[in-house]
Structure 1
Amino acid sequence: MKVILTHEVSGLGTAGDVVDVKPGYARNFLYRRGLATAWTKGGQKQVDAIAASKAARAVKSLEEARSIKGNLEAQQVTVTAHAGDSGRLFGAVTSKEIAEAVAAGGGPAIDRRTIEIPTPIKSVGPARAQVRLHPEVQATLTLEVVAG
């Protein structure tokens, strides 16, 4: 089944790409999260418009992404979460909480969908997360999870 990606999807493609996926993945994941639309002939015109605008912004956004990467990697982000006496969290730290902590710490506003947490953060202490700022630029966030 062909779909048009409207946002970047890790391991699949970037906005404007036409990809072939299984119908269940498209229905249950991509469409429900607003990450893709069904491919049609009229949709192809939309793909061409997205590609043209992406080419115009590519160089500017690459330089901007590199400067944001430097700011993010230099910043120590503190995330407050509910934890028990042993330091184990009630639940896990989410990408939304990380995005809010970056903004609260004076960092740039980043979209929660661009944050990737390699392993679930379920305890108090240091942790790391990846932020996809551009297809060519990926920043590593240093997190400090504290009980609150």
Structure 2
Amino acid sequence: MYSAAPEGSWASSAARRRNMQAIRSRDTKPEQLIRRLVHAQGLRYRVCARPLSDLRRTADMVFRPAKVAVFIDGCYWHGCPEHYVSPKTNSGYWSEKVARNIARDRDTDDRLTKAGWLVLRFWEHQPSADCADEIAATVLARRGGIRSD
């Protein structure tokens, strides 16, 4: 174990480094709940998949035939206007990191839209049932299907 951050580390301390490495990039609780609700509505999808093979970015849920890509964004990592709070330690680094994430999100949206995809983005704090209902309605509408509820 390190008593301090390794030379050249992005982490401000060894403890912070361990903490940050433990954060999930996929299969978060909000993602899992929304996926279960969408699956319960009879829809099938790819998890953590690339909508476009030449784009090195993955969506949380991909509906290929309907060309719908779903992202469930974490409030901290994607700069939620309601909940993001700049950190007190190493704030310059983390604020720049979140700004780069936001820019990458917009670039991803633009590239997918130009390729004919519909991008749906939700914040982790939004009600899961509402997100799942919007996803299902959108996918069914793009497939030309009619809801039966």
Which structure carries more relative contact order (alpha carbon 8 Å, separation 6+)?
2
> Hey, which of these two has a bigger chunk of strand by percent?
1
Q: TM range, normalised to the smaller chain?
A: under 0.3
